[in-house]
Amino acid sequence: MKYWRQFIEVYVREFKLVFSDQGILLFLLFLPLGYPVIYSLIYNPELVREVRMVVVDHDRSQKSRELVRNLDACQEINVIGYAADMGEGKEAMHSHECFGILEIPEGFGRKIGRGEQAPAVIYSDMSLLLRYRGFLVASTNVMTEMGAEMLDENLNRVVPMGGSLMPGDIMPINNVSMGNISNGFDSFVMPGIVVLILQQSIILAIGMAGGAKRERRRLTGYNAVNMEPSVLMTMLGQAGCYLTLMILPSIWLLHYIPLIFSFPMAGNMLEIFCFILPMVLASIMLGFCIQGFVTERENIFIIWVVTSVIFLFLSGLTWPQYAIHGFWRFLSDMVPATWGVQGFIKMNSNGASLTQVSDAYYWEWGLAAIYTLLAWGIQKWVVRPAERLANPA
């Protein structure tokens, strides 16, 4: 009963600190509620359609006009007209009348007729890579289709009706995008980003709370000197507080954000929340460890925020983990969100079960145990003495 009473006292006390500090509330509420919406809107719509293009046709042959018609028929490209030369085409691109230029060299149709290679050049505005991707996909599909048709024509000239005996494309490629049917950038990156946002909001809030406890009570309205509760019960009470506060943000991030923006949702939500639980615990305990280095509330920005981009790369979301070596791979394994990102993407996007991501699941529990022991030592010998010095009885 004594330890249970201590747990409740710390649990309630931590709630008072959180709701009396606007900075902590900002990280616990606005960061997980607002950031994913902003990020998702930036990359929405995920695919670009009918991107404007002008054509510089130096050949003016039947084949060049056929190429232009086929490109214009694609959903990715909208040919708005012809330019007299590259100078006029560049001027149209600089004024944003178009975002791409197709240059067809002289002799294009003649080379095709002789069975030679006839390259055409596409120039793209790189201010948005999705436009370049659309030009690349459309041009590749059109060139492949026209090449197959010319192969049939050449075969028919040698063997009458020979083109009807074999398909034009003898090695067709069927692209099946597992976990990302729309091939969109948003559906690719956001399922991992929401897990990183969850970890970031937890650690920023706990780090700021640690700085608040070292400031004088007249600034925070909170006396953080816990003389009676043990270090372990203090940690458990605080962890229970943050676990409670993160329930709604976690549901919003992991369920409603994918639902609102039509991200892949192939997993079982109950299993997903069971998988995320140890990652949240590990993040909370990592936050308690970082409190040992936070002397003021603002210090957490310097310590943690500048590392956000690094952790994004280390998570394996934008850079494959097998290409990470040495120290960086070890650091990646020590970040709870790394395993959370990998497991959540497999479960939510590809429909994996909790058993199929057991390696990441066990790693998360292992990190939670390691950071709990480390946090206990830091709280006992670093944080608590500093709190007593900052808030003398």
Contacts of 97 (CB under 8 A, 6+ apart): 52, 54, 80
Cβ count within 10 A of residue 211: 21
What per-residue confidence (pLDDT) applies to 220?
47
- 74 alpha-carbon distance from chain centroid: 29
Question: Per-residue confidence at 363, pLDDT binned at 50, 70, 90?
Answer: very high
Question: Per-residue confidence at 219, pLDDT binned at 50, 70, 90?
Answer: very low
Query: In which region does residue 350 sit, left (phi positive, over 0), alpha (psi from -120 to 50) or beta (all else)?
Result: alpha
Cβ count within 10 A of residue 140: 11
**Rounded CA gap, 331 and 309, in Å?**
14
- Region 15-42 average pLDDT: 87
- Region 156-175 average pLDDT: 58
277 has pLDDT over 80 = yes
- Region 17-38 average pLDDT: 88
What per-residue confidence (pLDDT) applies to 295?
81
Give the residue from 371, 7, 19 showing the smallest Cα distance to 209: 19
Cβ count within 10 A of residue 344: 26
Whole-number average pLDDT of the chain: 85
- For the chain, state the CA radius of gyration: 29
**Rounded CA gap, 29 and 204, in Å?**
12
Instruction: Could you list the beta-strand ranges (E) of the chain.
Output: 51-57, 77-82, 100-104, 121-124
Q: Residue 357, SS3?
A: helix
Question: Per-residue confidence at 256, pLDDT binned at 50, 70, 90?
Answer: very high
353 has pLDDT over 80 = yes
- Region 163-169 average pLDDT: 53
- Region 62-72 average pLDDT: 91
pTM above 0.85, yes or no: no
- Region 197-214 average pLDDT: 88
**Rounded CA gap, 206 and 209, in Å?**
5
**Among 29-38, 84-93, 358-367, the least confident range:** 29-38
